[in-house]
């Protein structure tokens, strides 16, 4: 019983904030454009501070675990490929299928991942969280522009697409924060007391703001007809993706319980809100993206609870083959 109470106390604030945002989005009639500054605050201020905080006190040995990166990134790519195939089966349209590939493989690693995993596993898992976040983003934000460029050759040349990808990777605030944190880790740099307090406050603001925004955004995008491929995409995202991570990490090496369980939980998270951003950017599959995020978030209340319960009670080994 104590395990269940502890699990409830861990998850209730997360889904409670999403539910509060959803309630406010339904009751308080404000235009969606009103979220713009809050989203800017999250992406360019609060979350970069959180990621800096996660890695600034880590050794570089933890941040260069390439076997771990390979296992988790291959798992995400496998989930993307299966979701892409499911999208293709239902739409026979390359751009739509690319969006479905993202919906079935891109976890909510920025908004939910760090605070949830740190709460469940402690600071030993923080480096694993950062590595998964960085390299999943590198994978998906490389695949999507390349495939969309292939689908519409008139959009941009391949060279221009590659230059844009490199520029976006180098200038993304999360990646800049990660690089600055790695420099601070290597040189053992410490922020001045006042700056450190500001970074601490901003880091603490990231999770509640992000979860509230997630609820509001879902509320402002009502679900009409449920596309036929959504159940398959949600199954890949919430069930198969964490299984892929578990099997691959077990097969490639012994990464320890904190890192392995962190990867399983990251893969078991619901679809990321960034799917909206991507689908809106390309004006492809916005309704399908809304459906995947809504259904995936609701279903994850059950699936994520089960995954965390199994991990917290020690019901599953961290290494399948040991």
Tell me the backbone φ, ψ of residue 122, rounded to 5 degrees: 90, 180
Q: What is the spatial distance between Cα 192 and Cα 181, in angstroms, rounded to a whole number?
A: 15
- Of the segments 3-17, 23-37, 66-80, 286-300, which one has the largest average pLDDT value? 66-80
Quick check: is 43 in a domain?
Answer: yes
Q: First CA to last CA across the chain, in angstroms? A: 29
Residue 302 has pLDDT above 90, yes or no: yes
Quick check: is 322 in a domain?
Answer: no
Closest CA to 300 of 237, 229, 247: 237
Are 72 and 135 spatial neighbours (Cβ–Cβ below 8 Å)? yes
Give the least confident one: 134-143, 150-159, 250-259.
150-159
Are 116 and 265 spatial neighbours (Cβ–Cβ below 8 Å)? yes
119-135 mean pLDDT = 88
Tell me the backbone φ, ψ of residue 271, rounded to 5 degrees: -60, 145
Q: What is the pLDDT of residue 11?
A: 86
- CB neighbour class for 110 (10 Å; exposed up to 12, middle 13-18, buried from 19): buried
Residue 153 has pLDDT above 60, yes or no: no
pLDDT band at 1 (very low <50, low <70, confident <90, very high): low
Task: Return the DSSP state at 225.
Answer: S
Quick check: is 317 in a domain?
Answer: no
252-280 mean pLDDT = 89
Residue 296 has pLDDT above 80, yes or no: yes
Percent of the chain with pLDDT over 90: 34
Give the least confident one: 83-92, 118-127, 134-143, 213-222.
213-222
3-state secondary structure of 172: coil
Instruction: Compare 149 and 255 and report the one with higher pLDDT.
Output: 255
For 130, half-sphere exposure in the C-beta direction (CA atoms, 13 angstrom radius) is 32
User: In this predicted model, what pLDDT tens digit does every residue of 184-206 receive, in sequence order?
Assistant: 888 888 999 999 999 999 988 88
Quick check: is 176 in a domain?
Answer: yes
pLDDT band at 155 (very low <50, low <70, confident <90, very high): low
Give the least confident one: 149-153, 166-170, 219-223.
149-153
Total domains present in the chain? 1
Exposure string for 220-241, b = 16+ CB within 10 A, e = fewer: bbeeeeebebbebbbbbbbbbb
Are 312 and 117 spatial neighbours (Cβ–Cβ below 8 Å)? no
Task: Report the DSSP beta bridge partners of residue 271.
Answer: 107
Q: What is the pLDDT of residue 271?
A: 92
Q: What is the pLDDT of residue 154?
A: 60
- Of the segments 3-17, 87-101, 240-254, which one has the largest average pLDDT value? 240-254
CATH of residue 74's domain is 1.20.1530.20
Average pLDDT, the chain: 86
Task: Report the DSSP beta bridge partners of residue 107.
Answer: 271
Q: What is the pLDDT of residue 141?
A: 80
Tell me the backbone φ, ψ of residue 107, rounded to 5 degrees: -75, 165
| Contacts of 50 by beta carbon, 8 Å cutoff, 6+ apart | 114, 202, 203, 206, 207
Give the least confident one: 28-37, 195-204, 221-230.
221-230
Angle at CA of residue 209, ends 239 and 109, nearest 5°: 30
Q: What is the spatial distance between Cα 204 and Cα 118, in angstroms, rounded to a whole number?
A: 12
- Residue 130's domain spans which residues? 2-312
- State the pTM of this model: 0.85
Residue 59 has pLDDT above 80, yes or no: no
Quick check: is 84 in a domain?
Answer: yes
Quick check: is 318 in a domain?
Answer: no
CA dihedral (219, 221, 227, 233) positive or negative: negative
């Amino acid at each position: 019983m104590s395990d269940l109470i502890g699990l409830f106390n861990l998850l209730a604030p997360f889904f409670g904030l999403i539910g509060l945002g959803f309630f406010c989005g339904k009751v308080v009639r404000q235009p969606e454009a009103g979220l713009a500054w809050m989203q800017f605050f999250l992406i360019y201020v609060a979350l970069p501070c959180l990621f800096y905080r996660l890695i600034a006190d880590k050794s570089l040995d933890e941040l260069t675990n390439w076997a771990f990166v390979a296992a988790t990134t291959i798992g995400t790519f496998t989930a993307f490929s299966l979701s892409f195939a499911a999208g293709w089966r239902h739409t026979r349209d390359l751009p739509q299928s690319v969006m479905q590939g993202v919906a079935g493989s891109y976890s909510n690693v920025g908004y939910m991942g760090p605070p949830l995993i740190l709460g469940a596993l402690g600071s030993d898992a923080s480096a694993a969280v950062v590595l998964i976040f960085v390299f999943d983003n590198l994978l998906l934000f490389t695949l999507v522009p390349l495939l969309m460029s292939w689908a519409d050759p008139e959009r941009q040349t391949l060279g221009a697409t590659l230059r844009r990808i490199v520029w976006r990777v180098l200038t993304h605030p999360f990646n800049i924060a990660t690089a600055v944190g790695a420099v601070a880790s290597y040189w053992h740099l410490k922020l001045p007391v006042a700056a450190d307090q500001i970074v601490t406050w901003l880091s603490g603001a990231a999770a509640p703001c992000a979860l509230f925004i997630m609820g509001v955004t879902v509320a402002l995008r009502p679900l009409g007809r449920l596309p036929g491929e959504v159940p398959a995409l949600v199954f890949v995202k919430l069930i198969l993706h964490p299984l892929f991570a578990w099997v691959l990490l077990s097969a490639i090496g012994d990464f320890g319980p904190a890192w392995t369980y962190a990867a399983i939980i990251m893969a078991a998270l619901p679809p990321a809100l960034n799917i909206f951003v991507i689908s809106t950017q390309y004006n492809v599959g916005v309704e399908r993206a809304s459906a995947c995020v809504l259904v995936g978030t609701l279903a994850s209340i059950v699936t994520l609870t089960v995954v965390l319960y199994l991990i917290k009670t020690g019901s599953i080994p961290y290494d399948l083959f040991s």
